[in-house]
Amino acid sequence: MKHFNLNDQPDELLMGQSALSNRFTSCPDQRCYDITYEGRALRIKEREKGIETLWFLFIQSDQLRLEWAGSSSEYPETTELLAAIEAAVVNYPHQQKISLQVPGGEIQTLFDSGVLIKNENNQLVVYVDAFWQQVGVWCSAKSAQVFPIHYVFSQGRSHPLRPPKPVGKVYQRYIPWLGRTLAFRVIDAETDLRRFNRWMNDPVVANFWQEEGDMSKHLDYLAAIEADPHVIGLIGCFDDEPFGYFEIYWAKEDRLSPYYDVNDFDRGWHVLIGESHMRGKPFVTAWLPSISHYLFLDDDRTQRLVIEPRIDNNKMIRNLEKCGYINIKEFDFPHKRAVLGMLSRERFFAEQRWVPRHVSPPQSVSMF
């Protein structure tokens, strides 16, 4: 294996097309690594044991390359390799693939999962769209066995039995243009009720949700969500600071299903941003692609996401379009006239819709 010293690398190196993120944390399979960019190198430190390794990330002949700088008699753990790859795709968000130079070892699972591919020249390649579909990099640990299909009836509709609801944190992702980590966790009525009540009574939120009321009303609201197997309530956080509420649902058994040709694993979502200082483009470009990403990761049988904003919610409709959602039609709910927006799995991953269209350094990022 070829090794570089910090002073003899090629000129076409790390910062040419990079998002210029200096440090962040990656937690594949719940093992956390602190990653630091030092000029032309990546330093990756396993948080629990304190073990630190060195990698090189650079552009060579228009190809992004990631190389292990350890000795040939050693090799990185699978989770460290995943963290190094995430570091590469975070700083070079529009690359289609990564050329990887790493010693063998216990990496067969990465071939089995599609993270690593050998090309026609027998070189290791990471296809970025495939990497972004790796559940364990961003989501809490899940069984390799997908929940089996068993049809049941509810409210007069046939649909697959849904898996048990998750608890705690379900997704986290470092956002380079904000320099913060975004996370979604399941709402907890005991600790989140007061905040949820305040958000619902905010005039901006109430204009679209129309769920103003006292805490007793909102406690009943959250109890109904908890009891409904097709809906999950999530709290969105930036660096553990809550900013908004997301309601995700299986569309087949939702009130939306009669209005379009619904599939068994379509998912939909609603959102309110409760903290006014976390509204606006820099934050939308983080949470909107991330909630879409989470829903595609949560079940790989989900091929489409749907959303039905009120027809006069022009800002939301524009943001959805910029994130890849297509306006299918206008239609009338009993309580509102809405637009049906839809995003396909193929488009989201093929067009790398998890990042804004033009990413610049964090201090001057151009949104969408």
3-state SS class at 158: strand
- Distance from C-alpha of 359 to C-alpha of 368, rounded to nearest angstrom: 8
Mean pLDDT (the chain, rounded)? 88
Domain limits of the chain? Answer: 23-136, 139-364
Q: Does 144 have pLDDT greater than 80?
A: no
| CA distance linking residue 352 with residue 228, whole number of Å | 33
* pLDDT of res. 11: 28
Residue 319's pLDDT band, with cuts at 50, 70 and 90, is: very high
Segment of 103-107, 207-211, 220-224 carrying the highest mean pLDDT: 220-224
Residue % of the chain over a pLDDT of 90: 73
In terms of pLDDT, which residue wins out, 181 or 145? 181
Superfamily of domain 139-364: Gcn5-related N-acetyltransferase (GNAT) (3.40.630.30)
Residue 233: beta bridge partners? 247
Instruction: Name which residue leads in pLDDT, 345 or 358.
Output: 345
Q: What is the mean pLDDT of residues 156-179?
A: 93
Report pLDDT for 365.
31
Element spanning 350, H or E: helix 345-350
Residue 182 and residue 286 in contact, taking contact as beta carbons nearer than 8 Å: yes
Chain segment 261-275, per-residue pLDDT in tens: 999 999 999 999 999
23-136 and 139-364 in the same fold = yes
DSSP code at position 310:
B
Count of C-beta atoms within a 10 Å radius of residue 69 = 17
Residue 4 has pLDDT above 60, yes or no: no
- pLDDT score, position 38: 83
pLDDT, mean of residues 87-106: 87
DSSP-assigned letter for residue 5: -
pLDDT at 203: 96
**Residue 6 above 90 pLDDT?**
no
Model confidence band, residue 143 (pLDDT cutoffs 50, 70, 90) = low
* Cβ-based neighbours of 177, under 8 Å, separated by 6 or more: 19, 282, 285, 286, 356, 359, 360, 362, 365
pLDDT at 152 over 90: yes
Task: Kindly indicate the confidence band of residue 60, based on its pLDDT and cuts at 50, 70 and 90.
Answer: confident
Q: Which of 12, 241, 308, 330 is catalytic?
A: 308
Distance in angstroms (rounded) separating the CA atoms of residues 115 and 129: 10
Q: Are 25 and 76 in contact (CB under 8 A)?
A: no
Q: Tell me the pLDDT tens digit for each residue of 8-45.
A: 333 233 333 444 457 889 999 999 999 998 877 999 99
DSSP 80: H
pLDDT value of position 21: 54
* Active-site residue, 211 included: no
Is CATH 3.30.200 correct for 23-136?
no
Contact 8, 16 (CB under 8 A): no
Q: What does 229-254 look like in DSSP terms, one character per residue? A: TTEEEEEEEETTEEEEEEEEEEGGGS
| Across 102-106, 197-201, 307-311, least confident range | 102-106
Q: What is the mean pLDDT of residues 56-62?
A: 88
